[in-house]
Structure 1
Amino acid sequence: MPYPDTLIMIFVELFIFFIQHSNGCPDGFYGVDCAIPCRYPSFGLGCQQSCNCTEKFCNPVEGCRTTEGCSIGFFGEKCRDQCRYPNYGVQCQSLCACESQLCNHISGCNFSTVCEDGYYGSLCTTPCKYPWYGNNCKHKCKCTLINCNHTNGCLDTSENEDEVAETFENAAIIGSCSLFILITIFFIIIIRKYMSSKKQVKKHNYTPTLITPFPEHANYDKVFCQKEQVYLEICENTHNTHRA
C-alpha cells in the first residue's frame, strides 16, 4: 500500500526541514524563521537547557538571570546549584531529618520504600548511618557512635557514664597535684632569685673600714689633751714629764 509510505516520506521531509532550520537559530529561539523564543523553562541553544527558577526570572537566551526566584531545591548563580544536604526546598531553607541518601533537594526526605527499623535503601539492606537510627533512619542519636544502635538508638550508657565520671575525677586530682607542685617550684625559684640579688646588692654597697694604727703615746696624749680641755694642766704636766 503506497499510503503509509507516503506518510513516512512526509514525516522524514518535515524532520529534515526542522533540523536544517532549527540548527541555524541563535540561542533562545527556534522555528522556521527563528522568531519563536524558547518556552519556559527551556532556554539557550536549540532550547535544550532548562531554567531552575520561576518564569519571571527565566530568560530564553541566558536562563536564570539572578539568584532570585530560584526554583524549589536550587540556589546560587543563575540557580544552577542544587540544595546541599541536609538543606532542601524553597531557597534551601528546610532541613532533612534523614540520611543524605534519603534526602531529595526538592521534596526532602523520601520514605516511599518501607523498610524495617534501622535500615534503608532499595533493598532495605543498608543500616542507618550514625547518628541516625530507627524507622526510615529519621531519628537521631544523642550519644557517641559506640553507644548508638542503628535500630534502637542510644543504648543504656549508665555504666559508661560512671567510668567517664571516674576518669574525669582522677584526671582532675592529678591535674590539681601537678598544678600545686608547679606553683611551689615557681615560688622557690623566685625566693632564690630574690635572696641572690639581695646578697649582690649588699656586697656591692660594702665599704671596708680602715684600721687606724694606734698613735704613739706622746701623740696620743697631745690629741687627747686637745679634745679634753678640762684636764689641760694635767696634760701639760704629763707632756713635760715625757720630754724630761
Structure 2
Amino acid sequence: MATLILVRHGRSTANTSGVLAGRMPGVALDERGAAQAAALPGRLAGVPLAAAVSSPLQRCQETLRPLLDARPDLPLHVEERISECDYGDWSGRKLAELSDDPLMEVVQAHASAAAFPGGESMRAMQNRAVEAVRDWNARIEAEHGEDATYVMCSHGDIVKSIVADALGLHLDLFQRIHVDPCSVTVIRYTRLRPFLLRLGDTGDFAGLVPREAPDSSGAAEVGGGAGAP
C-alpha cells in the first residue's frame, strides 16, 4: 500500500498568540511559518510524490504552496475530512483561559470521551481523519502503484490521531504524541500493518534546549502548540 508523508502546517498567527484557532477563517502562517513552508521542498527533495492532499484551511494550503510551486506537475486535492478538529465554543479562545475548564482534564486524560460544546467529539475527529487516510491510500495505490508516496498537510491533533491509529494506540493515549509546526511524519501502510518511519521530524533540535520556565504540568498542547521559540 501507499506511504503517507504527514505534514503539520507551519507556525500560524494563532499559534504565536496562544489562541485555539480551530476552523476560524483567516488564520495564516506567521513569518516563521512561511520560512518553514519555504524549506519544505528542500526537505522532501528526491522523494517522488504522487499527489498532495490538504486540509481546506488556509494555513495548510499556504504550507504546501512552496512545494507545489517547486513541483508544478504535483496535483493538489482538498480533503474536508482532514480539516482541524471542530472545537466549537472553544474556537478563538486563549489556551491559557481554557486550561481551567473542567473539559480540559478530559481532553488530556480521556480524549475518547471529550466532546467540545457546539463542536465535535475527539473520537469523531479521529474516525473521519483515519477514514480519509484509508481512502487516499487505496486511491493512490490504485492510480500509482503500491510503492507510491503522497503528502498530506493537516493539523496537530489530526496528525496525532492518525499516528495513534497507526501504532494501535487507544485515543486516550494520543496526547503522549507531539508534532511541531511543519514537522514531517511518515507512515508506510502494508496489507497487515502500518509502520511509523518518522515522527514529528523537523531537523531542528532547538526545542530540546531546556526552557527557563519549564512546564511541569505534563499537559499536552491542545491544537499542537507553536513549537520551539
Short-chain TM bin: under 0.3
- Greater length-normalized contact order (CA 8 Å, ≥ 6 residues apart): 2
TM-score, structure 2 normalization: 0.17
Larger Rg: 1
Per residue, is there more helix in 1 or in 2?
1
TM-score, structure 1 normalization: 0.16
